[in-house]
């Protein structure tokens, strides 16, 4: 019986395979349309908002999912396919991580020169959510849900921490769930708009903003870094990607421990102090019905090795199209083909190490380490590797990822609606806090003698 179930997981039925093929076709069409639309600048006085192709792909994917019940069967993306899209998104993100790691490896001396900025900006990531989000939550009348919603940006490790400590049916569990759902549905769009708007003011060094973009979420980091890089020269844009990747790696590696031992206890303490002072009694507190937590859909089962490799190759092909349309790089250039092959190879090696080491470290860490090693100046052929992979713009890899993210969103909207507008405002404040908090600290150290 067990072996039969295992075989079924590895070899999905034909209908599931055809559905997955339809997802890839949808994603490819979304990438093409989004890249042809290109960047759209919306002026806001002296500032501006930059809407990138990755945002168009995300929004169009979400629209298809939300309209699926009204579409013909061949054009609809139902809940099961949305779960499959979420399962595809996780390994697909490793392609983006590999590209950034290849940038980081050759820039390690430049990163080291940033001094304490790259180190201490992490405090902004982990305390900025609480500093900006908790007071707003209390003023809106939200109670202990505010702890779960503001102690972090509420990605998967945060769900695990709160679930183990309080249980997902608790008020704290509902709060972290609200943050998770808001980040899933709106996070990339919100952070991209905010990052672009703040960048256009010229107040911050773009590298400080890049460090702020490393919030610990691959899709949100891609969206924020893209909005910042779009307003820079090509050389500075590469530095933005490098610093965002380094910051995101630090957030990913130490984030779980930092949130568990520092930011969560501090948020609990701050809640105890602030709630009697500014807390309001209102109907804003999310109800305690257990159905809210139960409404969160699990992703489809993990992909088999052949499916993983196929996913990485297809995402690479989609990125070729974006690279060609937006950045005018021929997909048939041997150097471009070689660069994409290296990126796929880095992902395969990194993911293999992740599996061989019993998954003690996240796959993103292994992929990052392998990619950085390939372009580290002491590595044989590092200059040639950097030259080939440098022909592939990191934003071209972002658009396919956000297309899958968009196609996966609609499944969580019913639960999201029941969480109420107040918790959405709090979640936005927390996401803004983690970005701007880290950017402020990085900006300070970049202009302080200690940062030299």
pLDDT, tens digit (0-9, with 9 covering 90-100), for 62-78: 899 888 888 888 888 88
Q: Evaluate whether residue 357 is within a structural domain.
A: no
Q: Evaluate whether residue 297 is within a structural domain.
A: no
The tally of domains found in the chain comes to 1
Q: Evaluate whether residue 384 is within a structural domain.
A: no
Q: Where are the beta strands (DSSP E) in 103-261?
A: none
Q: What is the mean pLDDT of residues 249-260?
A: 72
For 215-254, give one letter per residue: b (16+ CB within 10 A) or e.
bbbbbbbbbbbbbbbbbbeeeebbbbbbbbbbbbbbbbbe
What pTM, to 2 d.p., does this model score? 0.71
Q: Evaluate whether residue 403 is within a structural domain.
A: no
Q: How many CB atoms lie within 10 A of CB 387?
A: 14
Of the two residues 263 and 419, the one the predictor is more confident about is: 263
Q: Evaluate whether residue 11 is within a structural domain.
A: no
The whole-number pLDDT of residue 114 equals 63
Is residue 400 within 8 A of residue 319, CB to CB? The reply is yes
The whole-number pLDDT of residue 31 equals 95
How far apart (Å, rounded) are the C-alpha atoms in residues 329 and 319? 11
The whole-number pLDDT of residue 311 equals 92
Long-range contacts, 264-269 (Cβ 8 Å, 24+):
264/147, 264/151, 264/152, 264/161, 264/165, 266/127, 266/130, 267/130, 267/134, 267/147, 267/150, 267/151, 268/147, 268/151
| DSSP labels, 69-129 | GGS-GGG---HHHHHHHHHHHHHHHHHHHHHHHHHHHHTHHHHHTTTTHHHHHHHHHHHHH
Name 311's Cβ contacts closer than 8 Å, sequence gap at least 6.
Answer: 88, 91, 92, 303
Of the two residues 429 and 300, the one the predictor is more confident about is: 429
**Residue whose entry in the numeric block shows the structure tokens 């199209």:** 321
Q: Evaluate whether residue 217 is within a structural domain.
A: yes
User: Could you give the 3-state DSSP secondary structure of residue 51?
Assistant: strand
Q: Does residue 253 surpass a pLDDT of 80?
A: no
Q: Does residue 180 surpass a pLDDT of 70?
A: yes
Is residue 49 within 8 A of residue 229, CB to CB? The reply is no
CA-based angle 26:27:32, to the nearest 5? 100
pLDDT, tens digit (0-9, with 9 covering 90-100), for 273-331: 999 999 876 554 544 444 444 455 555 557 888 989 999 999 999 998 999 998 888 87
**Residue whose entry in the numeric block shows the structure tokens 């948020």:** 267
User: Could you give the 3-state DSSP secondary structure of residue 45?
Assistant: coil
**pLDDT confidence bin for 364, thresholds 50/70/90:** confident
For 283, which DSSP code?
Answer: T
pLDDT, tens digit (0-9, with 9 covering 90-100), for 186-242: 788 899 899 999 999 999 999 999 999 988 777 788 889 989 998 999 889 989 988
| Residue 159 lies in domain | 114-286+419-452
User: Could you give the 3-state DSSP secondary structure of residue 44?
Assistant: strand
User: Could you give the 3-state DSSP secondary structure of residue 287?
Assistant: coil
Q: Evaluate whether residue 231 is within a structural domain.
A: yes
Q: Evaluate whether residue 225 is within a structural domain.
A: yes
For 50, which DSSP code?
Answer: E
Q: Which of 151-160, 283-292, 301-310, 355-364 has the lowest mean pLDDT?
A: 283-292
Query: What percent of the chain lies above the pLDDT cut of 90?
Result: 31
């Amino acid at each position: 019986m067990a072996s039969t179930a295992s075989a079924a997981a590895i070899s999905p039925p034909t209908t599931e395979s055809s559905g997955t093929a339809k997802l890839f076709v949808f994603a490819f069409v979304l990438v093409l349309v989004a890249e042809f639309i290109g960047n759209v600048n919306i002026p806001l006085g002296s500032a501006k908002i930059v809407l990138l192709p990755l945002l168009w792909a995300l929004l169009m994917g979400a629209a298809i999912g939300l309209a699926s019940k009204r579409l013909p069967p061949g054009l609809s993306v139902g809940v099961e396919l949305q779960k499959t899209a979420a399962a595809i998104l996780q390994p697909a993100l490793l392609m983006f991580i590999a590209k950034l790691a290849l940038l980081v490896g050759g820039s390690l001396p430049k990163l080291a020169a940033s001094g304490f900025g790259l180190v201490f900006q992490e405090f902004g990531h982990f305390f900025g959510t609480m500093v900006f989000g908790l007071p707003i939550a209390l003023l809106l009348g939200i109670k202990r849900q505010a702890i779960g919603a503001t102690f972090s940006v509420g990605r998967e490790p945060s769900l695990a921490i709160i679930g183990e400590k309080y249980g997902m049916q608790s008020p704290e569990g509902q709060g972290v769930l609200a943050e998770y759902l808001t980040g899933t549905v709106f996070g990339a769009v919100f952070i991209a708009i905010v990052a672009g708007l703040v960048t256009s003011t010229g107040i911050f060094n773009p590298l400080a903003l890049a460090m702020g973009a490393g919030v610990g979420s691959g899709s949100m980091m891609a969206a924020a870094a893209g909005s910042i890089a779009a307003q820079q020269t090509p050389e500075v844009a590469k530095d933005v990607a490098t610093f965002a990747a380094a910051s995101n790696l630090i957030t990913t590696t130490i984030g779980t421990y930092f949130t568990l031992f520092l930011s969560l206890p501090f948020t609990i303490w701050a809640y105890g102090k602030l709630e009697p002072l500014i807390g309001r009694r209102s109907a804003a507190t999310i109800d305690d019905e257990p159905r809210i937590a139960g409404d969160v859909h699990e992703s489809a089962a993990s992909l088999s090795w052949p499916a993983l490799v196929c996913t990485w190759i297809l995402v690479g092909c989609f990125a070729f199209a974006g690279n060609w349309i937006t950045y005018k790089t021929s997909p048939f250039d041997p150097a471009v083909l070689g660069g994409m092959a290296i990126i796929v190879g880095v992902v395969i090696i990194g993911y293999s190490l992740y599996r061989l080491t019993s998954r003690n470290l996240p796959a993103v860490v292994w992929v990052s380490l392998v990619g950085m090693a390939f372009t580290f100046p002491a590595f044989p052929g590092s200059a040639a590797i950097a030259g080939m992979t440098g022909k592939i713009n990191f934003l071209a890899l972002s658009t396919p990822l956000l297309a899958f993210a968009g196609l996966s969103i609609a499944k969580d909207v019913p639960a999201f609606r029941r969480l109420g507008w107040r918790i959405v405002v709090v979640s936005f404040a927390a996401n803004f806090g983690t970005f701007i908090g880290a950017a402020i600290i990085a900006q300070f150290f970049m202009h302080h003698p200690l940062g030299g």
